[in-house]
Each structure stands twice: as C-alpha cells, then as structure tokens.
Structure 1
Amino acid sequence: MTDAVLEIRGLDVDYGLGDDAVHAIRDVNLTLHRGEVLGLAGESGSGKSTLAYGLTRLLPPPGVVRGGEVLFHTDDGPVDVLRMTEAELRRFRWAETAIVFQGAMNSLNPVQRVSTQLTDVIRAHDPRSTGASRLARARELLSLVGIAADRLDSYPHQLSGGMRQRVMIGMALALEPKVVVMDEPTTALDVVVQRQILRQLVELRERLGFSVVFITHDLSLLVEFSDRIAIMYGGRIVEEASSAQLYREPKHPYSHGLLNSFPALRGPKRELTGIPGSPPDLRAMPSGCSFHPRCPHAMERCGVEVPVLGVPHDHVGPGRTVACWLHPVHDDGF
C-alpha cells in the first residue's frame, strides 16, 4: 500500500452560487493508496457524502465543485477527474471508479431482474460482449459476493436486505475498478449482516486488489475494517491516522468524543460521554476552529484562528495529521 491511486488536493465544494453559497467542503486533501481501505468518519452533515459525490462528479444541483483537483493515477500518469469530458467521464465510471450509494439496497430497479441489472452495466461499457459472456460474468459476480447463481432471475423484492446489498457490491465490481467508494453501505442492516458484508468486502479487497473509500458515521466499524481513518467535521479533515493509532491515541477532541460514543466490547466498563451540542450550521460557521463551541479544551485562540492540518510535533514519521491548537504541527504543514 505505497502507491497512490487517488489524490484529492484542495477540494472545495459549495451548494449554491455567490454570497449565499454554502461551503460544504473546504480545502480537503486526501490520498488513497493501492489496496487500501480508507475510512471517512464524522457526524451527519460533516461533508462525507458530499466529498464522495464531488470526487466522482455526481453532485446533484445546486452542488458545484469550486476548486481543487481529484487525480486518478493511471498507467499513463495522473488524470484530473474534475477536468474530464463527458465521454471520458462515462468511460471512467464503473471501469475505474465505482460507487455504492447510501441506502444501496434500495437502489436496484424494482421491475428488473437481477440478471438484467448486472448485464446492463457490462453491456454499456463493452458493447461487443455477447449475451452469454455477460450472463456468465453476472453468475461469477453473484458467486463472488456469496449469492447462489439461481438468484439471477429474482426481482429485488425477492431478496433480503443483505442480499440486495451484496448485489450492489457485485455490480460495483463488475468491471474490476481500481477504486470503490462506499457511502454508508450497511445502513439499515442489522449488526450481524453488517459484519458479514464487511468481512466479505475485506476478503474481496485482498483477492482483487482494489482500494476502498469507506464512508460512515459509525467509527467502530472503521476501527475494525479500515487501514487508515480520516475524521471530518464542518466540511474539513480534522485528523487522519492509521486505525490503530486513532483508536489508541486520538489527538483531536472531536475524534476522542466519537470514540467515546460507543461501548467497548472488551475490557472494563466505562461511562459513555458523547459530544455535547450539535454539529455546526454550514450557513453560519463559527469563527476559528469550527469545533470550539463544543470542545471541552477550547482556548481563546480556538475562537479566532483556524488550525492548520499538519503533522504534530510529537509524531515521528508520515501518515498522521491533526488540526487542533492543542497539538502544534510542523511549520510546513505536511
């Protein structure tokens, strides 16, 4: 996991135009490496889904990417997704980057059989393929996600929620993309099915070698299944670290609050503290650090200056950043 497959540089996303625009994503920088699971966590409204739709150019109106780059690394060099033509973008989607949407188990067409929906994806990108080869690939995809091939003739309502979710994951992998973006893929599923699907996803990642951007508000899932985790708050990245580092030693008070919002499965009992207050209104963001009105460690400086995301002084080596005045960072940021 050393080679970058996707780089997000200085991404800004707004909803609306002019003075009334809401700044939903502000100066986000992230790197996804080959074969890596990068978790993206934060409360509802922190900008996670907007980031996913912005980097894939699937933002619904009035969303607009105001600035930045999304560099996808191909064998011929990096390509900026934000500057692709419509034809280039059509070839890029599914073949290079696929997305499993929030509420994916309800994204299937209710009046089309599973086989039709799987083979349509293949036919759209490979019109020279035969019906027999597309059907064979559809069977292979169902087998890949643990569903019997005889379910190809089923309609979505004949499948359980977990099976529909697996079909969506199989569809995302149909053209063997290098990057799969998963936006809350286990929402509305019980915890047993969640774990089954995520374990299967990790096994597929190890077997096929694709990279995953995994978006959820459930930090406990990311700690278990991600290689690295980035924490979002108010449209910014406030901390990034390996899952083990973040779990053992969160630096940002917001990360600490998220980790103390769910019970530990092992060890002594502890009181759940949570985070007081509510996420900020993006139309009227607080001055300085956007988390300071809810932060138990807020200082006078926090309400005036926006902290810079960078490598903290007490960390040796790359791979860990934080944006908090409690942890001074190197002068060069990264």
Structure 2
Amino acid sequence: MSAVPTRSVWTPGQVGRVAEPVLEIKNLSVDYGFDANPTHVLRDVSLTLNRGEVLGLAGESGCGKSTLAYAATRLLPPPGMITGGEVIFTDRSGDQVDVLSQSDQDLRASRWQDMAIVFQGAMNSLNPVHRVGRQISDALLAHLPNMTKKQAMERSADLLDMVGISPDRLRSYPHQLSGGMRQRVMIAMALALDPQVLIMDEPTTALDVVMQRQIVEQIAELRDRLGFSVIFITHDVSLLIEIADRIAIMYAGEIVEEAAAQDVYRRPRHPYSDALLHSFPPLRGPRRELGGIPGSPPDLANRPTGCPFRDRCAHVFDACATVHPELVTPAVPGDDPRRQVACLRHDPARVAAGGYEPVSVPLELSIR
C-alpha cells in the first residue's frame, strides 16, 4: 500500500454501475466476556462495500452496529473479542489484505490512509486541550514524515475549507465550535489522508435537523468529488434513504435484510425493516399512523432459539420458534436477485415445502 495518498479517478454518478468491492466483511463474529459463557454480540455477519458506494447500516440501539464497525477496524476495546471471520480490504492497485491479520505496524500505517472512522460524539473524540489545527496536522505528520509543519497546517486549512469551515478556525479549541462545526472537523480529519473507506458512526447524533441535512449533503458532495466509499451507521432509516445506495438492517447482532435503499423504503421484506420505517413520519404523501415496535430486543446473553424477532413480529408462525432464518433471496417474483432477507416466510425452500405463499410485507403493516 502506498505511503503517500493518491487520488482515484472518479466520475460522479458511477455508483451502481460498477460493483468493485473495496471492503468485504466475511462471517465476522464478536463475543463480550472472557469467561466460559461469553455474550455473542455478532454472529457470522457478512457485508460487502463497493468502491464509491454509500452503504447504510441501521437498527435499534444495541443491535451491534458500532461493534461491527470497531471490530472491522480492530478498534474494539476489551472485553470485546473477535472470535472469527475476515475483513478483506482491496486497495486501488487491486492488492488485498486481511485487516484482522495485519501486524500492529501495518495496521497503524493503514489507519486514516486506507480506512478512516468518524466516531460518535465529536466533542468526546476531539482533544479538549489542543487546537483543532494541531489535531489535524498531527495525523498528517504521523503518516507523512517528509511533510513540514507549515505544509501540514496549510493542508489542514484546505481540509477545513473543504468541509465549509473558515481556515481561521484552526486556532480554535473544540469548545469554541458548535456541534455541527465539531462534526465537520472530525470529517476533515478523517479525509486528511484521502482514505478509500470512511466509516461514520452516527455522525448526526445530537444535531438539529437543519444541521443533519447539511452534514448529509456535505458527505454526499465530498463522496462525489473524491470517490471514497462510506459505511454510514445510524438508527434513523429515513436519513439513510437520502444518502445511501444500499441499506443493511441489523437486529440482535445479525443482518436481517440487505437491499437497495429504494427497495428497503418502498418494498421492505422483513417485518423489522417495515416497523423501523413506520417509526418516523413521512414528509410527503398521505398521512399515516405511526406505529412503534412493541417489546424489547432480545437479551443477547440468553439468545432465544429460532428467529430473534419472533416475539415482536406480526407474521410469526410455528417454525419461527425453532428454526433460525438465514439470509436468502426472497421468494417474491420480480425482486432484485441481489436482495437478501432473513425471514422464514421468504425462504424459497421452506415456502415450497410448507405449501404457503411468501409474505410481501405491506407498507401498512399492523404491528401487534
């Protein structure tokens, strides 16, 4: 991998036409606890991020979204422990490396240059006793030893200007910036070395809706200009519909549905996906009643048998109590063959053997 960042050739609008993987998470499993009975928080999670794509990752708090991001970048703190899987990163020249097997030295060189992360809570991520200019330039100097301090500060000023902040803010401390400005500083830091993958862990948390909109538009504009790929983590599915090319829905440490963003929005196949969509009001169209999701997510320390969503599902049937659903292409005519859903009602083999029609979850699903 190159020691000096080089910019890839990028044409706006190429997303969706070229499916070239840049990051492949394969059967990633994570446990919390070192005793004989650890809690299995991630179970064989697989995701593929294509070059230039925005992949949204959504689900309720505690479903494993952040754990997946930190495990994939080897930033998972104890007592978290990766127990299986691979994270394959493909650089611009086509060379591949398993992030989980990299040496500490190679991993330090790769961070911020190949993959960067914008952490949840910008105020807690920035050092409160250092000016933001120093914090950005430190990352540049650590990875580019031939760069002078003057050049690093000039590059830092360019980065702030790129995210819509006046360069004279380089001398500001984090507490002197608004929440939206701090989040933009974090985005500028993450893009300092022109990474190929940007992981954003709920970057709009605690921001008002106007600032959320500005941050989302900023990310979309920078993605089109620079060509990096994004994993955008949030519990707000409505936000993902505006920015994501594909959306993966997580529940109880597993992916339960993955499809194009518009397919998830207009034709959700998993009852949990539909319930999430009915948890926010539509901005256009006819009025509809908002429906919350009854009950609570399962206790991962005592994971139930069968489908983890069955106690909260309106379409539950007998097999859901004993059979754990796997990700399959839905047995619905006309569906995108790349779509996947973990629901027994959509399993083609079970539909054929059980003699019932697959459920196409309606947009007006009544959650019991």
Band the TM-score falls in, shorter-chain normalisation: over 0.9
Distance (Å, rounded) in 2 between the aligned partners of 1:328 and 1:38: 24
- Using the TM superposition, give the Cα deviation of residue 60 of structure 1 relative to its aligned residue in structure 2, in angstroms: 0.5
2:33 pairs with 1:30: no
Q: Using the alignment, how far apart are the partners of 2:277 and 2:132 within structure 1?
A: 39
Pair 1:323-2:338 in alignment: no
Specify the alignment match of 2:159 in structure 1: 141
Secondary structure of the residue aligned to 1:28 is: strand
Q: Distance in 2 between matches of 1:214 and 1:15?
A: 24
Runs of 4+ deviating beyond 6 Å: none
Superposed CA offset, 1:93-129 (max 9, x none): 0000000011123311111011100100000111111
Task: Report how many residues are paired.
Answer: 331
Aligned to 1:190, which of 208, 217, 239? Answer: 208
For residues 302 and 8 of structure 1, what CA distance do their matches in structure 2 show?
A: 27
Of 322, 331, 335, which aligns to 1:313? 331
Distance 2:35 2:174 in 1: 43
CA distance in 2, matches of 1:18, 1:249: 43
2:52 aligned with 1:52, yes or no?
A: no
User: 2:71 matched to 1:42?
Assistant: no
The one of 19, 34, 40 equivalent to 1:17 is 34
Q: Matches of 1:312 and 1:289 in 2, distance apart?
A: 16
Q: Measure how far apart 1:19 and its partner are.
A: 2.8
Matches within 5 A, 1:76-87: 76-87=94-105
Contact 1:94/1:177 (8 A) holds in 2: yes
Contact 1:311 / 1:330 at 8 angstroms: preserved in 2?
no
Residue 99 of structure 1 pairs with residue 117 of structure 2: yes
Say which of 189, 202, 205 aligns to 2:223. 205
Q: Contact 1:105–1:168 (CA<8 Å) still a contact in 2?
A: no
Q: Matched residue of 1:326: which SS? A: helix
**2:254 paired with 1:236:** yes
For structure 2, the 5+ residue unaligned runs are 1-14, 351-368
TM-score w.r.t. the length of structure 1 is 0.97
C-alpha separation in 2, matches of 1:153 and 1:255: 45
Post-superposition offset of 1:223? 1.1
Q: Write out per-residue CA displacement over residues 296-318 of structure 1, whole angstroms, 9 at most, x where no aligned residue.
A: 11111001010110111225544
| TM norm structure 2 | 0.88
Give the one of 223, 238, 251 matched to 1:220: 238
Does the 8 Å contact 1:310/1:330 carry over to 2?
A: no
- Cα offset for 1:330? 6.7
The answer for the alignment partner of 1:285 in structure 2 is 303
Corresponding letter in the other structure for 1:42: G
User: 1:126 — aligned with what?
Assistant: 144
User: Residues 53 and 229 of structure 2 are in contact (CA less than 8 Å); yes or no, is this contact kept in structure 1?
Assistant: yes
Separation in 1, partners of 2:230, 2:182:
19
**Does 2:168 align with 1:150?**
yes
User: In the alignment, which residue of structure 2 is the partner of 1:165?
Assistant: 183
Give distance in 2, aligned partners of 1:300 and 1:232: 23
Following TM superposition, by how much is the alpha carbon of 1:274 offset from its aligned partner in structure 2, in angstroms?
1.7
Paired with 2:55 and 2:94, the residues of 1 have a C-alpha distance of 24
1:312–1:330: 8 Å Cα contact kept in structure 2? no
Pick from 56, 60, 64: which aligns with 2:81?
64
Structure 2 residue matching 1:20: 3-state secondary structure: coil
Q: Report the AA paired with residue 321 of structure 2.
A: G
Q: Report the Cα offset of residue 285 of structure 1.
A: 1.1
Q: Following the alignment from structure 1 to structure 2, what is the Cα–Cα distance between the partners of residues 318 and 292?
A: 25
The 8 Å contact of residues 122 and 179 in structure 2, kept in 1 or not, is answered as: no
- d(CA) in 2 for partners of 1:217 and 1:76? 33
1: distance between equivalents of 2:36 and 2:314? 33
Q: Output the aligned Cα RMSD.
A: 1.2
What does the per-residue CA deviation read over 1:9-28, in whole Å, with 9 as the maximum and x for residues that have no partner?
11001111343201010011
Partner amino acid, structure 1, of 2:29: D
Structure 1 position 263 matched with structure 2 position 281: yes
Amino acid at match of 1:324: C
C-alpha distance after superposition, 1:29-66 (max 9, x if no partner): 10000110000000001000000000000001010110
For residues 259-312 of structure 1, the C-alpha deviation after alignment (integer angstroms, 9 at most, x for no partner) is 001000011111011211011111111110000011111111001010110111
Query: Does the residue aligned with 2:74 lie in a helix, a strand or coil?
Result: coil
Percent sequence identity is 61
User: CA 1:27 to 1:145, structure 2 compared with 1: closer, same or farther past 3 Å?
Assistant: same
